[in-house]
């Protein structure tokens, strides 16, 4: 699976782009979270790896900004306290056996969630996108 | 068979059923002392029994690394020329208090920057100074014959300070509660960010690694005990404030030389929308003087029990929702109201472990010797609530019956009720009296004006509520925060008990 962040500008947010691509290309796109208003929208979705390029191309053709880079960045300030762990709704943040805090970028919902960001006592978590 | 990873020294000369701190220090010097971390010791006791553990082990090292708000540092900045008797002072825009003579200052960890607010505070100033960073000192004074100066601005580093001592009046809580939140909204507390309706829980403390938990009767830890403090050697100088030994909520007061500390074990921190604090690393060596002490350091996480507490209720006596032990807390899930809830620590267990291991290596390398306490910590003090001379008002004091309706009523009927009962808020309930929503006279007026037909379409369903035991101050804070004028009063089952309005509260203040 490839996780993507789809950004819809206010000009195209009212168009059924995602469903069109699912129907036209026959790609099973799994929407994990979505924030949509009149000012624009953001969707986090999983696309099967073998069809990812095709889907991304289709989204870009319709004017959607597709971000496939990682969604979360944790810097060296992190000292493994765990204040973020219980807040994560998708278990992307967990404790390792030695109580190191581990971030799974593939599970992270990024900017559409961001529950952990302000809970970090040393501001070590940054969301991208 | 010894547990994996534990090696014991071969030649042991111990006889009898007790050993003294002086004897242990002799062994440290000759390289014969057997030191285990608290976690290693517990495994040894489980595999080989108390008797063997006592015979073989001289010292057990402990550790904890958590947010300890009652921390700060005393600094002496030396005299300026012409001299100043500092009245008010700031370092990097954080006000530092001036409790003594002319140039002694106390940097309180929780004091927040006047320009950067939550993002920077006294804890960060202490960390920056320990890191060797330059900070800005600003001071004002009224001026005296001997101290004429009234203003001062300069920059300083730790090298410029005469003394720079961490002086913490409450650290190292033996154990702490597990926090969760019953409210419908996220709350930001000193126990971290708590999601609505018990969606997460937090805890603090190292459990079986905590120093005081391994000496629960304070037989070896007392005034003068040498400890690991922030990466340097420090001392226990007494029991901490709010020390409550009877309930296993013991605390200590500590002091240590910041100039020798490491930022790995002293960190300024922010709890979002709560305030700034200081993470402090403390490790205490427990000398195994007799078998009884060996038995006490064998305590395991599952034996350390604490309460799950609802921080959604802003009262001194927050409701307790159940019991939990540290093994469950460290497992990542706890059960609250029969539901499995994610729980995580606020203190770093990984760093706590590292502290116990570092302290062990210091003793092995003969750079750290044990001290006998010159005075014991009290075992009988109580933690009393505040004496209050003025009554505080709660919602239950002004709650009155709410005018209600059900979802299936006509807008017209509800409008008539608003007029006949002369109210502005109608609480919508179901047939069991449970809260379904709220409509205001404004909503009704607009609906009538626009010829909107159905009540169900105009009901506000996301309702901010209060409970009878909420302080009026907290209730009026909600009104202001959400820019609303009334709060339905409900019980735990969301049954409507009445309503309080902004008008009720202002009447009370005007009284």
Residues 6 or more apart whose Cβ sits within 8 Å of residue B248: B174, B175, B213, B216
The pLDDT confidence band at residue B375, using thresholds 50, 70 and 90, is very high
Please name the residue of chain B whose CA is at the shortest distance from the CA of residue A85: B344
Chain A residue numbers touching B348 (CB-CB < 8 A): 79-82, 99
The pLDDT confidence band at residue B205, using thresholds 50, 70 and 90, is very high
CA distances from B141 to B14, B48, B75, B138, B336 (A): 63, 66, 18, 11, 54
B405 is catalytic: no
pLDDT score recorded for residue A81: 97
User: Chain B residues contacting A, CB < 8 Å?
Assistant: 65, 67, 119, 192-193, 195, 200-202, 264, 267-273, 277, 279, 332, 342-351, 353
Chain B residue numbers touching A84 (CB-CB < 8 A): 344
Q: What is the DSSP letter of A84?
A: T
| Mean pLDDT of the region A74-96 | 95
Q: Are B217 and B299 in contact (CB under 8 A)?
A: no
Helix axes B38-56 and B349-364, enclosed angle (nearest 10):
40
**pLDDT at B447 exceeding the cut of 80:** yes
pLDDT score recorded for residue B433: 93
Q: Structure tokens of A44? A: 């986090």
What long-range pairs does B137-140 form, CB within 8 A, spacing at least 24? Answer: B137/B77, B137/B89, B137/B90, B137/B91, B138/B89, B138/B90, B138/B91, B138/B93, B139/B84, B139/B86, B139/B87, B139/B88, B139/B89, B139/B90, B140/B86, B140/B87, B140/B88, B140/B89
Cα(B433)–Cα(B328) distance, rounded to whole angstroms?
38
Q: What is the DSSP letter of B4?
A: T
Cα(B65)–Cα(B106) distance, rounded to whole angstroms?
22
The pLDDT confidence band at residue A21, using thresholds 50, 70 and 90, is very high
**Chain A interface disruption, residue of B269, B274, B280, most A CBs within 10 A:** B269
Q: Are B158 and B130 in contact (CB under 8 A)?
A: yes
CA distances from B421 to B205, B244, B487 (A): 54, 53, 18
pLDDT tens digits, residue range B18-31?
899 999 999 999 99
Q: What is the DSSP letter of B408?
A: T
Q: How far is A18 from chain B (nearest CA, A)?
A: 30
Cα(A95)–Cα(B211) distance, rounded to whole angstroms?
23
Among B324, B321, B275, which residue's Cα sits nearest to residue B492?
B321
Interchain CB distance below 8 Å, B332 and A115: no
The pLDDT confidence band at residue B493, using thresholds 50, 70 and 90, is confident
**pLDDT at B108 exceeding the cut of 60:** yes
Q: How far is B345 from chain A (nearest CA, A)?
A: 5
Q: Are B435 and B456 in contact (CB under 8 A)?
A: no
3-state secondary structure of B487: strand
Interchain CB distance below 8 Å, B346 and A83: yes
pLDDT score recorded for residue B510: 65
Cα(B227)–Cα(B363) distance, rounded to whole angstroms?
11
Q: What is the DSSP letter of B57?
A: -
**pLDDT at B391 exceeding the cut of 90:** no
Among B194, B162, B168, B164, which residue's Cα sits nearest to residue B179?
B194
Residue with tokens 């907290």: B474
Chain A residue numbers touching B195 (CB-CB < 8 A): 87, 115
Q: How far apart are the first and last CA of chain B?
A: 76
Q: Are B278 and B130 in contact (CB under 8 A)?
A: no
Kindly report the pTM of this predicted structure: 0.85
Q: How far is B70 from chain A (nearest CA, A)?
A: 17
Strands (E), B258-338: 266-271, 275-283, 285-287, 305-310, 320-325, 333-336
Among B108, B130, B358, B122, which residue's Cα sits nearest to residue B227?
B358
CA torsion angle for B314, B320, B323, B326 (degrees, to 10)?
10
pLDDT tens digits, residue range B164-178?
999 999 999 999 999
What is the overall mean pLDDT for chain A? 90
Cα(A65)–Cα(A53) distance, rounded to whole angstroms?
14
The pLDDT confidence band at residue B11, using thresholds 50, 70 and 90, is low
Cα(B234)–Cα(A51) distance, rounded to whole angstroms?
61
Cα(B511)–Cα(B358) distance, rounded to whole angstroms?
62
Cα(A49)–Cα(A54) distance, rounded to whole angstroms?
10
Q: Are A93 and A116 in contact (CB under 8 A)?
A: yes
């Amino acid at each position: 699976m490839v996780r993507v962040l789809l950004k819809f500008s206010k000009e195209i947010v009212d168009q059924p782009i995602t469903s069109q691509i699912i129907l036209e290309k026959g790609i099973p796109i799994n929407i994990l979270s979505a924030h949509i208003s009149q000012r624009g929208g953001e969707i986090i979705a999983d696309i099967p790896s073998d069809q990812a390029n095709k889907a991304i191309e289709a989204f870009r053709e319709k004017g959607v900004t597709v971000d496939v880079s990682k969604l979360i960045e944790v810097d060296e300030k992190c000292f493994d306290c765990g204040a973020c762990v219980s807040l994560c709704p998708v278990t992307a943040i967990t404790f390792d056996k030695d109580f190191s805090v581990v971030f799974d970028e593939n599970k992270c919902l990024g900017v559409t969630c961001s529950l952990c960001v302000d809970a970090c006592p040393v501001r070590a978590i940054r969301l991208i996108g | 068979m010894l547990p994996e990873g534990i090696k014991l020294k071969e030649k042991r000369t111990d006889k009898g059923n007790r050993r003294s701190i002086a004897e242990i220090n002799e062994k440290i010097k000759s390289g014969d002392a057997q030191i285990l971390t608290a976690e290693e010791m517990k495994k040894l006791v489980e595999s080989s029994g108390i008797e063997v553990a006592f015979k073989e082990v001289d010292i057990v090292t402990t550790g904890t690394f958590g947010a300890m708000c009652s921390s700060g540092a005393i600094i002496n900045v030396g005299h300026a020329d012409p001299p100043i008797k500092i009245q008010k002072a700031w370092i990097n825009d954080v006000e530092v208090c001036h409790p003594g003579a002319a140039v002694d200052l106390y940097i309180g960890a929780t004091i927040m920057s006047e320009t950067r607010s939550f993002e920077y505070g006294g804890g960060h100033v202490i960390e920056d100074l320990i890191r060797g960073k330059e900070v800005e000192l600003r001071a004002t004074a009224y001026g005296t014959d001997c101290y004429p100066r009234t203003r001062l601005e300069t920059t300083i580093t730790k090298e410029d300070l005469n003394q720079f001592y961490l002086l913490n009046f409450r650290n190292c809580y033996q154990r702490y509660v597990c926090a969760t939140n019953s409210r419908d909204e996220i709350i930001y507390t000193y126990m971290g960010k708590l999601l609505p309706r018990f969606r997460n829980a937090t805890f603090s403390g190292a459990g079986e690694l905590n120093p005081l938990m391994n000496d629960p009767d304070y037989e070896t830890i007392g005034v003068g005990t040498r400890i690991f403090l922030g990466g340097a050697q420090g001392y226990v100088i007494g029991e901490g404030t709010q020390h409550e030994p009877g309930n296993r909520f013991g605390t200590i007061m500590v002091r240590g030389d910041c100039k020798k500390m490491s930022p790995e074990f002293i960190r300024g921190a922010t709890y979002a929308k709560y305030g700034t604090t200081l993470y402090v690393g403390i490790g205490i060596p427990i000398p195994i003087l007799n078998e009884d002490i060996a038995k006490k350091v064998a305590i395991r996480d599952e034996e350390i029990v604490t309460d799950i507490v609802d921080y959604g209720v802003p009262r001194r006596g927050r409701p307790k929702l159940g019991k939990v032990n540290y093994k469950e807390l460290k497992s990542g899930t706890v059960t609250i109201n029969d539901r499995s809830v994610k729980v995580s620590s606020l203190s770093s267990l990984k760093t706590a472990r590292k502290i116990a291991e570092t302290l062990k290596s210091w003793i092995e390398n003969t750079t750290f010797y044990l001290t006998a306490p010159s005075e014991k910590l009290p075992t009988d003090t109580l933690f009393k609530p505040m004496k209050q001379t003025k009554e505080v008002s709660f919602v239950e004091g002004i709650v009155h019956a709410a005018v209600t309706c059900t979802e299936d009523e006509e807008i017209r009927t509800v409008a008539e009720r608003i007029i006949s009962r002369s109210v502005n808020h109608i609480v919508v309930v179901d047939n069991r009296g449970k809260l379904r929503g709220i409509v205001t006279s404004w909503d009704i007026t607009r609906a009538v004006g626009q010829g909107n037909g159905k009540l169900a379409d105009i009901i506000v369903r996301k309702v901010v509520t209060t409970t009878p035991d909420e302080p009026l101050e907290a209730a009026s804070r909600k009104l202001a925060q959400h820019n609303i004028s009334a709060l339905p009063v409900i019980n735990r089952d969301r049954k409507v008990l009445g309503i309080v309005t902004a008008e009720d509260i202002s009447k009370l203040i005007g009284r």
